[in-house]
Amino acid sequence: MQYRIDWMDRETLVYRTSALSVLVWVDYEEGLFSGGRVIHADSSRQWLDTEFKLVRAVTQDEREAIVAAIQKHYAGEQRPCRVIQ
């Protein structure tokens, strides 16, 4: 599956694939210089269209693929990350 990950704001990533997007909440890990991230897996609930209108719910398998893609993204930046539900 082709995808792209972009920042929407300081705490939100947008996972995009084709014409659909999912918003994912990401916190900074505690500590002044940690650089780590905390992915809130349960925040990826709805697929949105290009105008950010609701299309359908995210399945559990899709959620797992989205989280894995974000983890891969952070690994490429050499940033530690952990996932919470």
Give the pLDDT of residue 85. Answer: 86
In terms of Cα–Cα distance, which of 9, 13, 11 is closest to 72? 13
What pLDDT was estimated at residue 31?
72
For the chain, the structural domain boundaries read: 4-84
What is the distance of C-alpha 28 from the center of its chain? 13
Please name the residue that has the structure tokens 């949105």: 48
pTM of the full structure: 0.89
Stretches where the chain sits below pLDDT 70 are 1, 32
- What pLDDT does 45 receive? 96
pLDDT at 58 (0 to 100) = 97
Rounded to an integer, what distance in angstroms lies between the CA atom of residue 20 and that of residue 35? 29
